[in-house]
Amino acid sequence: MSFLVIQFLTGLSSSVSLFLTAAGLTVIFGVTRVVNFAHGSLFMLGAYIGWTILTRLPHDPVWFVAGIAATALAVAAIGAALETTLLRRLYHAPELFQLLATFGVMLVIQDATLLLWGPNDLPLPRASWLRGFVTILDSRFPLYDLVLIAIGPFVLVSLLLLLSRTRFGMLIRACTENRDMAAALGIDQRLLSTTIFALGAGLAGLGGALILPDTSANTQMDLSVIVEAFVVVVVGGMGSVGGAFLASLLIGELQAFGIVFFPHATLVLIFVIMAAVLTIRPNGLLGDIPLTAPNQTTRILFTRPSPTLFWLGGAVVALAAATPFWLPPYWLSVETEVLIAALFASGLHLMMGPGGMISFGHAAWFGIGAYASALSLKMLAAPMPLALLAAPVATGATAALFGWFVVRLSGVYLAMLTLAFAQIVWAVATQWTWLTGGDDGILGVWPSGPVPFFWWVLALTAIAIWLLQRVIRSPYGLALMAARDSEPRALSIGLQPERLRMVAFALSGAAAGLSGGLFAFKTGSVFPTYVAVGKSVDGLLMVLLGGIDTAIGPIVGAIAYTGLYDLLLQTVSLWRMALGLTIIALVLLFPDGLAGRWRRS
């Protein structure tokens, strides 16, 4: 009995910092509608700034509280500066471009943190009062964790009172429900947005500082916490502080008991729960904001094939086919990687552009395709052509089955369900060592030679992208865009939006699977990292950098992103900062993407 009570209390204490971070994220979204990918970086800055302040203060409770408060205020100031200098310029941009800009901010903060604090973990020396404990049912429980358990409900009640009983809360509710009407009534939305962003950032900084006595400040905190915070916010319901609190408790208890009773399923347990909740309640437990993204799909992709682009594309393919005769081996390898990236991005673009569906987990299909090809080669002794064929077949069928469950969702809810599936696939790839080799991977997946393989990649990529473009320009593509732009009108003329999206989901997955199979042969191996969150983010960046409303956008974005990544990785020590600043500059200078000016071609 005592063991269960202690585990329950442990789950409660671990949920507090997650709730603070998620509450800040949902408060920011409620007013600004910004899905802030850099929110995890603010949490990480709270840990590092808190460590800097607390290690220089006397080790007693009063100074500890003062240091925590100072940390929250410092991170709030950073959040306000971020909102006024960057995000304010992007409020009228599509939500995904805001996500892209905040991802660039995350990269900048990562390298800035390394520059200021170094790469080593920074533990907080525990004062004697932090090492205290209480006895509960003959078991010892840390006193500090009891304090954390009390902080969660206190912050929840404070936020609910702030939002429901004050004039500030009334203004927030007004902007949340109808921004245009609030502006007509004279509400200063700029000041309100800055204030609410500072509040959300301060909550994230508070969560990062409070976790210090139990863990070390490290540079891996940002990405891990933002994924969990997104899960909490989506499960609870975007814009609902009470939902964020309830979901954080649920996730905290799942992690506390899951590591004991389901140790091999701990990595995916929260994503399985998220998938189950969204399947039953598409807006989350307490959410009432259906997340659609009208700004992302108001422009129609061109449907007339341009003779100029057709001949230009043919000339580029012909020129690429001749490059092995004069290009050095290294650059031939880079060109192969660019072609695979272009195919991956083009498949994702079919979902995001004509389909209007956001995916945070497109790496799942990339990884499934890579494993399908590798296992066909190693276990079935299939030749490379058949092994490559297994990739789109396996991923297309799996994506069609998965799409049947998710196409009724939209916006970030759909995106998070794709992330959940990707995390499940990643956990399977990590833990089913008998099939995938786990972290050791599958090795020896080599083609016959680099030059013939390059021609295989060029031919398959060109054909697949051409077929995707034909799909976009076909009557099916027009019907898909009609369902994207106005589902009620599409239904009224006899279209079936869910079936249209499911087909797009399957085609997009098949294209990503083929790119994964090609990548497996290019690298000669397959690892669980092929399904990691970073790979999905890479696909999003390529599509958004090129332009979501253009047919050639994903190709241009793949070339730009892959080229920038390889160039900066080799030439700049702080390559994340350089890449992040470049992404931010491109978002500001090219709000429609690099290929956006050809949208009407």
Element containing residue 475 per DSSP (H, E) = helix 475-485
Question: Is residue 389 situated within a structural domain?
Answer: yes
**Confidence class for position 295, pLDDT limits 50, 70, 90:** very low
Which tops the pLDDT comparison, 297 or 512?
Answer: 512
Measured between alpha carbons, how far apart are the two ends of the chain, in Å?
70
Across the chain, what does the average pLDDT equal?
84
Residue 529, token pair as written in the block: 């990292």
**Confidence class for position 468, pLDDT limits 50, 70, 90:** very high
Question: Is residue 462 situated within a structural domain?
Answer: yes
Look at residues 203, 208, 214 and name the one whose alpha carbon lies nearest to residue 52: 208
pLDDT of amino acid 296: 40
What total number of domains does the chain contain? 2
- The model's pLDDT over 46-61, given as tens digits with 9 standing for 90+, comes to 999 999 999 998 888 8
Residue 254, token pair as written in the block: 């799942």
Say whether both 48 and 170 belong to one domain. Answer: yes
pLDDT of 78 > 90? The answer is yes
Question: Is residue 31 situated within a structural domain?
Answer: yes
CB atoms within 10 A of CB 153: 13
What is the arithmetic mean of pLDDT over 149-165? Answer: 89
Say whether both 322 and 470 belong to one domain. Answer: yes
Question: Is residue 285 situated within a structural domain?
Answer: no
Say whether both 204 and 313 belong to one domain. Answer: no
Say whether both 213 and 335 belong to one domain. Answer: no
pLDDT of amino acid 281: 80
* Percent helix, strand and coil across the chain, each to the nearest 5: 75, 0, 20
pLDDT of 354 > 60? The answer is yes
Domain endpoint, select from 505, 533, 561: 533
Question: Is residue 8 situated within a structural domain?
Answer: yes
- The model's pLDDT over 359-368, given as tens digits with 9 standing for 90+, comes to 888 999 999 9
Say whether both 320 and 455 belong to one domain. Answer: yes
Question: Is residue 413 situated within a structural domain?
Answer: yes
pLDDT of amino acid 226: 84
For the ranges 92-96, 209-213, 252-256, 563-567, the lowest mean pLDDT is seen at 92-96
Question: Is residue 320 situated within a structural domain?
Answer: yes
Share of the chain above pLDDT 90, in %: 29
Say whether both 331 and 434 belong to one domain. Answer: yes
Say whether both 214 and 328 belong to one domain. Answer: no
**Confidence class for position 294, pLDDT limits 50, 70, 90:** very low
Say whether both 108 and 210 belong to one domain. Answer: yes
pLDDT of amino acid 180: 67
pLDDT of amino acid 447: 85
Say whether both 368 and 481 belong to one domain. Answer: yes
Which tops the pLDDT comparison, 195 or 93?
Answer: 195
Residue 68, token pair as written in the block: 């925590």
d(CA 450, CA 458): 12
Give the domain range for residue 105: 2-220
Say whether both 208 and 316 belong to one domain. Answer: no
Look at residues 365, 373, 410 and name the one whose alpha carbon lies nearest to residue 391: 373
Domain endpoint, select from 178, 194, 220: 220
- The model's pLDDT over 311-341, given as tens digits with 9 standing for 90+, comes to 777 788 888 888 888 888 888 888 999 999 9
Question: Is residue 189 situated within a structural domain?
Answer: yes
Say whether both 214 and 336 belong to one domain. Answer: no
For the ranges 112-116, 184-188, 447-451, the lowest mean pLDDT is seen at 184-188
Provide the angle, in degrees to the nearest 10, between the axes of the packed helices 266-280 and 411-431.
Answer: 150
Question: Under a CB-based contact definition with an 8 Å cutoff, are residues 519 and 375 in contact?
Answer: no
What is the arithmetic mean of pLDDT over 445-466? Answer: 90
Domain endpoint, select from 220, 246, 275: 220
d(CA 280, CA 419): 17
pLDDT of amino acid 297: 41
pLDDT of amino acid 155: 92
Say whether both 384 and 524 belong to one domain. Answer: yes
Distances in whole angstroms, Cα of residue 42 to Cα of each of 21, 88, 100, 110, 536: 9, 18, 16, 10, 22
pLDDT of amino acid 597: 55
